[in-house]
Amino acid sequence: MSSLEENMEEMLNISVDVESQPIKPAPPKTTKDDQTKDYEYTRGELYSLIDKGQEAVQGALEVAQESGHPRAYEVAVAAMKHVADMTEKLQALHKNMKDLDEEQKGPSKVTNNAMFVGSTAELQKMLKQMGGGKR
């Protein structure tokens, strides 16, 4: 407690006991709708960027062909690389969305390879009990 606070307590003849604890906000809960909205928005933005990047590549190639300048070709190639990177990000977005869907569904509970461990006499006894002894 600072001396100012102590002086104020003395002057006002009060006692203040305040325990301050930082309040941590709860992390926002992501719902399926939020994920779908984010996916659609991101996908749309990537498509837009890819389209604009392709236009930029075409323009850069025209300038490079008209000027014949090596730097113009370098810029065109760099633009091509950026467009390729954006298409890879689009593919990664699809993979991430698929992974989220599988994660939300959870593991399947299918047993494919059930096995009996025991002797044939024990197996016959178990089968007779399951069948009600009818044969």
> Cα 14 from chain centroid?
53
Q: What is the pLDDT of residue 89?
A: 94
Is this structure's pTM higher than 0.85?
no
**CATH of span 32-104:** 1.10.287
Q: What is the pLDDT of residue 2?
A: 67
Q: 76: buried, middle or exposed (CB in 10 Å: 19+, 13-18, 0-12)?
A: buried
The count of C-alpha atoms lying within 13 angstroms of the C-alpha of 108, restricted to the half-sphere facing its C-beta, is 4
Q: Which of 11-25, 27-41, 42-56, 112-126 has the lowest mean pLDDT?
A: 11-25
Read off the pLDDT of residues 53-79 as tens digits, 9 standing for 90 and up.
999 999 999 999 999 999 999 999 999
Residue-wise DSSP of the chain: --HHHHHHHHHHT--------PPPPPPPPPPHHHHHHHHHHHHHHHHHHHHHHHHHHHHHHHHHHHH--HHHHHHHHHHHHHHHHHHHHHHHHHHHHHHHHHHHH------------S-HHHHHHHHHHHTTT--
Q: What is the pLDDT of residue 95?
A: 92
